[in-house]
Amino acid sequence: MTSETEWTPERRERLTAALREALPDPADLLRVVRLRLGIPKQEVYRAAEVAEAVAEVVAWAAERNRLPDLLEAALQEKPEAPGLRALRAERALRVRVKREDHRSWDWKRAIRASCTQSSSHSGRFQSRQSMRTMARPATS
Residues 33-60 have pLDDT tens digits of 888 888 887 777 877 788 898 999 999 9
Count of domains observed in the chain: 1
Does this model's pTM top 0.85? My answer is no
Q: Is there a domain that residue 82 lies in?
A: yes
Q: Long-range CB contacts (< 8 A, 24+ apart) of 76-85?
A: 76/36, 77/22, 77/23, 77/28, 77/31, 77/32, 77/36, 78/22, 78/23, 78/28, 81/18, 81/21, 81/22, 83/14, 83/17, 83/18, 83/21, 83/22, 84/18, 84/19, 84/22
Give the domain range for residue 130.
Answer: 4-135
- Summarised one tens digit per residue, pLDDT across range 74-112 is 999 999 999 999 999 887 776 655 555 555 545 555 555
Q: Is there a domain that residue 14 lies in?
A: yes
Q: Is there a domain that residue 80 lies in?
A: yes
Q: Is there a domain that residue 140 lies in?
A: no
